[in-house]
């Protein structure tokens, strides 16, 4: 930092713009030579000749500190410029290029010989130039949007520390922060005194798979050593609108996708408890062993919240592990206004909660919370003696790596913890409440607006607003196969035009027998009522001729 300010003052003092425009290296050399003695000649070469700086000039190279600071400052300047543009509504959300065109526009191939740091900076600029600005106030495409400045700072610090989460000895502060934060999250769920267990994993899909793994081990601990051949055929249950990761987890664990039984949902996408119980009873009669029910708190498309209290009653009656996939909707527990939608979650055996969605923690940040303490350790530990020695000088219960299925585990906790410190629980609450308010505003704007038709009736439970846009040419058509065929093409074409113009992005999909419709989700704290109005007008502008 001292070198940086010395050289900055040197440049102001010398006021030689021509040197910076013609040869930045020479200007740096002269400034550094005057104010730092021999450092300048070591860095930029004797007699002020322009020298191309490369990877070999950076730390840990001897006397590589100034070159390192200069290079990293350049990278930070690039990132800061990108951040500012990301929040500028006059900029594009995306500069869309087709894959083959983007491959040809830049040289993305890897070479045997090193490039200069100037070339590396060009690569950095090109990467961000064609990146999707997920922080843009008009980016609504995914459940994870926005960019939090404190979270970003924490992510930079995490990468700077560059450590592993498997033992306290290599990540003392991060391990303690994970312990504190998971306990706080369990308290919010409603488990007494925050007792239980948990871990941060690489996304909600892995957290859901952890839950299925624990449920199987809880019922059949012998599976750890003897495998699936020692078990009867198992049955897991989830709703028709649940996340695909439930089936994917069953496939990965050797349980099989055919053993995942989908339960019917009502018109709003909520699991029907009576159908769940009927299918559990039917599975038992067919010789299957029900072991796992995954209820969803905030489905991906409709944003529906399954009736957790009724599901908990059924799980207790039949002795089945109850998991709540709250990857999308779990953060509503932070809101006193909306947490009622998860009533009954405190009765679950486990819960997935993704702060990188509604809480805008930078990707990735997903937690699995488990009510029974010690179960994860029993299920997953392998007691590798080169990592988890029992005779260390500290309490080895803080060596959390053996309860994970991974060995190396990224530090995901610091982003969430630092944001929580900066915002407080009330800050997250206000952010979440605002997003729900915006979704209700959108619903109220379009529910009776000409050219719009809601996928289901009633206000959305989450920020998901699902609707069809009907261009003028379709509005007068009678309901039938031809109308459905044409309507199915509308959303994909409008979405493609959005990306071509770069003005906004919103997702679409079919669901069951329903043709393609827009699924608007709001999790970006930067979004405003004006951005919602813009989206409506842009859909109409891009789709009126279809």
3-state percent breakdown (helix, strand, coil) of the chain, nearest 5: 50, 10, 35
Rounded Cα distance between 94 and 102, Å, is: 13
Q: Model-level pTM?
A: 0.90
Tell me the CA distances in angstroms from 539 to 117, 141, 170, 491, one per residue in order: 43, 14, 51, 9
CA dihedral over 357, 361, 364, 366, signed as positive or negative: negative
DSSP characters over 48-63: G-----BGGGSTTSTT
At residue 19, the pLDDT reads: 31
For 180-233, what is each residue's pLDDT tens digit? 999 999 999 999 999 999 999 999 999 999 999 999 999 999 999 999 999 999
241: which 2 tokens?
Answer: 């609108």
Q: Which residues of the chain have pLDDT under 50?
A: 1-2, 4-6, 8-50
The predicted pLDDT at position 106 comes to: 87
Which tokens hold the place of 294? 């995954």
pLDDT score for 45? 43
pLDDT at residue 8, as a whole number: 47
pLDDT in the model for residue 51: 57
Query: Which residues are within 8 A (CB) of 263 and not within 5 positions of it... i.e. 6 or more apart?
Result: 237, 238, 239, 240, 271, 272, 275, 276, 279
Q: Can you give the pLDDT at residue 342?
A: 98
pLDDT value of residue 54? 86
Listed in sequence order, the residues at least 6 apart from 443 whose beta carbon sits closer than 8 Å to its beta carbon are 454, 459, 460, 465
Side-chain half-sphere CA neighbours of 30 within 13 A: 17
Beta pairing class for 260-263 and 234-239: parallel
Of the CA atoms within 13 Å of residue 468, those in its CB half-sphere come to 21
pLDDT value at residue 53: 82
Q: CA angle, 540 as apex, 534 and 541 as ends, to 5°? A: 85
Q: Per DSSP, what are the bridge partners of residue 369? A: 198, 351
DSSP string, 338-371: TGGGGTTGGG-SEEEE-TTSTT-PPS--EEEEES
Calculate Rg over the CA atoms of the chain: 27
């Amino acid at each position: 930092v001292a070198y940086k300010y010395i050289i900055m003052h040197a440049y102001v003092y010398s006021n030689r713009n021509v040197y910076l425009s013609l040869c930045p290296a020479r200007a740096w050399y002269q400034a550094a030579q005057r104010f730092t003695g021999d450092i300048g000649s070591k860095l930029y070469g004797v007699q002020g000749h322009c020298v191309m700086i490369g990877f070999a000039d950076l730390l840990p190279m001897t006397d590589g500190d100034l070159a390192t600071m200069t290079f990293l400052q350049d990278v930070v300047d690039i990132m800061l410029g990108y951040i500012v543009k990301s929040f500028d509504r006059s900029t594009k959300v995306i500069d869309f290029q087709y894959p083959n065109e983007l491959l040809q526009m830049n040289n993305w191939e890897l070479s045997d010989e090193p490039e200069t740091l100037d070339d590396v900076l060009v690569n950095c600029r090109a990467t961000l130039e064609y990146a999707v600005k997920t922080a843009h106030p008009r980016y609504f495409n995914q459940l994870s949007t926005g960019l939090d400045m404190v979270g970003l700072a924490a992510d930079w610090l995490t990468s700077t520390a560059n450590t592993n989460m498997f033992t306290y000895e290599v990540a003392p502060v991060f391990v303690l922060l994970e312990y504190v934060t998971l306990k706080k999250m369990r308290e919010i769920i409603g488990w007494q005194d925050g007792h239980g267990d948990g871990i941060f994993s690489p996304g909600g899909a892995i957290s859901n798979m952890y839950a299925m793994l624990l449920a199987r081990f809880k019922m059949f601990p012998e599976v750890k050593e003897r495998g699936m051949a020692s078990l009867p055929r198992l049955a897991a249950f989830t709703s028709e609108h649940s996340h695909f990761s439930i089936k994917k987890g069953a496939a990965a664990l050797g349980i099989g996708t055919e053993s995942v039984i989908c339960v019917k949902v009502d018109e709003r996408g909520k699991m029907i408890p009576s159908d769940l119980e009927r299918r559990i009873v039917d599975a038992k009669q067919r010789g299957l062993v029900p072991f796992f029910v995954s209820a969803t708190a905030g489905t991906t498309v409709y944003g529906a919240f399954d009736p957790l209290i009724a599901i908990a009653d059924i799980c207790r009656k039949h002795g089945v592990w109850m998991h709540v996939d709250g990857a999308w909707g779990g953060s509503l527990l932070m809101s006193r206004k909306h947490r009622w939608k998860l009533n009954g979650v405190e009765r679950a055996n486990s819960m997935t909660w993704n702060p990188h969605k509604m809480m805008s923690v930078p990707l990735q940040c997903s937690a699995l919370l488990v009510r029974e303490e010690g179960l994860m350790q029993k299920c997953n530990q392998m007691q590798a003696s080169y990592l988890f020695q029992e005779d260390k000088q500290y309490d080895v219960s803080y060596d959390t790596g053996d309860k994970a299925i991974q060995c190396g585990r990224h530090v995901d906790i610091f982003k969430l913890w630092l944001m929580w410190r900066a915002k407080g629980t009330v800050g997250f609450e206000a952010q979440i409440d605002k997003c729900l308010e915006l979704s209700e505003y959108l619903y109220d704007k379009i529910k009776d607006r000409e050219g719009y038709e809601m996928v289901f009736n009633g206000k959305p439970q989450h920020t998901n607003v699902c609707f069809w846009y009907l261009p003028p040419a379709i509005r007068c058509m009678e309901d039938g196969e031809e109308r459905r065929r044409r309507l199915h093409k509308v959303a994909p074409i409008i979405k493609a035009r959005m990306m071509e113009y770069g003005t906004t992005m919103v997702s679409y999909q079919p669901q069951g027998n329903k043709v393609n419709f827009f699924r608007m989700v709001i999790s970006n704290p930067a979004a405003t009522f004006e951005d919602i109005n813009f989206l409506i007008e842009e859909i109409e502008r891009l789709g009126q001729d279809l």
